[in-house]
């Protein structure tokens, strides 16, 4: 029998770890900072047969008001130290590092390619898993390979070796990475190109200003709630369905960008969920379009998320 690692805490409220500032407690919670701690937590979770959910920066999740009845493995800050990029622009970066922090560092070092990703909150791990993107650049465009641990790895194998998955096997698609399902992302190897720090840094400033002008960044949110439908924009469909600014409890369809649902203060997950359902229904009635959710739901029962 393995002893319970000290890193594992009970009943930790998750709301403050999400960009929505919404969500109840995790039954168990761990935030390992290195491989040894991570392996200890995983081994114990397997022994106890706990359901496990990885959390990165919490910027694309909605956590239920009841919380999560299992172990939340929080990887923001995991292995927070930088390796040096190779002279030809290959760079292995840990999943726990914040995406924006890395994008800035790359620009300062004169490595180009990631500038368009500035302004996307969250970690490298979350960015890779979601294949986050903006301004026609996706994280997956820059990834060469990803190091992972399989969630169902053999417990008798104490010398746990991560697997390196080449980008071609991940199936990077629009906000999806089917080849990474059921895996814990430890790090990714990116390919950047030589660039000019002054040009890259100027690009970062311009992109951040553009985002500030278009997005309700002063309010807690998860960014875009729905994926972009083919040939249209979710925000336009929601606005023309008459829901821009619509309030339900503490949640509101942002008056600035209708694909953002913002927490105006004291919003519950139930408020946001009800608004998601209302939007889907109205857009379907008005435009005949079935919007697909982008935000990841944590701790909800299957029947609660039907119709979202």
Ligand X SMILES: Cc1cc2nc3c(=O)[nH]c(=O)nc-3n(C[C@H](O)[C@H](O)[C@H](O)COP(=O)(O)OP(=O)(O)OC[C@H]3O[C@@H](n4cnc5c(N)ncnc54)[C@H](O)[C@@H]3O)c2cc1C
CA distance 282 to 218: 27
User: CA nearest 247: which of 239, 255, 256?
Assistant: 255
Within 45-64, the residues that bind ligand X by CB under 6 A are 54-61
Distances (CA, A) of 75 to 30, 115, 148, 152: 9, 24, 13, 18
187 catalytic, yes or no? Answer: no
Pick 75 or 251: Cβ nearer ligand X: 75
Distances (CA, A) of 230 to 30, 69, 237, 288: 39, 36, 12, 13
Position with the least CB separation from ligand X: 126
Cβ 3 to ligand X shortest distance, Å: 25
Q: In which element (H, E) is residue 39 found? A: helix 35-47
Contact of 243 with 287, CB cutoff 8 Å: no
C-alpha dihedral (266, 272, 275, 279), degrees to nearest 10 = 140
Q: Is 241 in the site for ligand X (CB under 6 A)?
A: no
Cβ 51 to ligand X shortest distance, Å: 12
Pick 217 or 247: Cβ nearer ligand X: 217
Sign of the Cα pseudo-torsion (107, 110, 114, 115, in order): positive
Catalytic entry in 33, 175, 227, 293: 175
Cβ 285 to ligand X shortest distance, Å: 27
Within 9-28, the residues that bind ligand X by CB under 6 A are 19
Contact of 103 with 111, CB cutoff 8 Å: no
Cβ 82 to ligand X shortest distance, Å: 17
224 catalytic, yes or no? Answer: yes
Within 114-153, the residues that bind ligand X by CB under 6 A are 120-123, 125-127, 129-130, 132-134
Cβ 276 to ligand X shortest distance, Å: 15
Considering only 8, 71, 185, 267, the residue that binds ligand X (CB under 6 A) is: 185
Considering only 24, 223, 235, 299, the residue that binds ligand X (CB under 6 A) is: 223
CA distance 155 to 164: 19
Q: Which chain residues interact with ligand X by CB under 6 A? A: 19, 54-61, 75, 95, 120-123, 125-127, 129-130, 132-134, 184-185, 215, 217, 221-223, 296
* Positions marked active-site: 175, 224, 294
């Amino acid at each position: 029998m393995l002893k319970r690692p000290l890193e594992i805490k009970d009943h930790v409220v998750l709301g403050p770890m999400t960009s929505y500032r919404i969500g109840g407690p995790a039954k168990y919670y761990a935030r390992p900072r290195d491989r040894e701690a991570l392996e200890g937590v995983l081994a114990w979770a397997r022994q106890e047969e706990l359901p496990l959910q990885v959390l990165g920066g919490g910027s694309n999740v909605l956590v239920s008001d009841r919380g999560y009845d299992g172990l939340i493995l929080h990887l923001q800050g995991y292995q927070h130290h930088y390796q040096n990029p190779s002279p030809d622009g290959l760079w292995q970066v840990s999943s726990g590092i914040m995406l924006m922090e890395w994008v800035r560092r790359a620009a300062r070092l004169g490595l180009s390619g990631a500038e368009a990703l500035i302004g996307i909150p969250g970690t490298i791990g979350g960015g890779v898993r979601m294949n986050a993107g903006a301004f026609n650049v996706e994280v997956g465009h820059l990834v060469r390979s990803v190091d992972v641990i399989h969630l169902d790895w053999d417990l008798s194998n104490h010398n746990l070796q991560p697997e390196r998955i080449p980008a071609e096997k991940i199936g990077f698609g629009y906000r999806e990475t089917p080849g990474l399902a059921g895996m814990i992302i430890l790090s990714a190897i990116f390919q950047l190109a030589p660039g000019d720090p002054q040009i890259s840094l100027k690009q970062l400033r311009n992109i951040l200003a553009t985002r500030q002008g278009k997005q309700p960044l002063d309010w807690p949110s998860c960014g875009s709630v729905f994926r972009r439908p083919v040939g249209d924009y979710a925000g336009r469909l929601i606005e023309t369905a008459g829901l821009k600014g619509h309030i339900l409890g503490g949640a509101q369809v942002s008056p600035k960008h209708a694909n953002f649902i913002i927490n105006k203060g004291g919003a519950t997950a139930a408020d946001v969920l009800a608004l998601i359902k209302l939007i889907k229904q109205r857009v379907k009635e008005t435009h005949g379009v079935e919007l697909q959710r982008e935000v990841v739901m944590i701790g909800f029962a299957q029947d609660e998320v039907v119709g979202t």
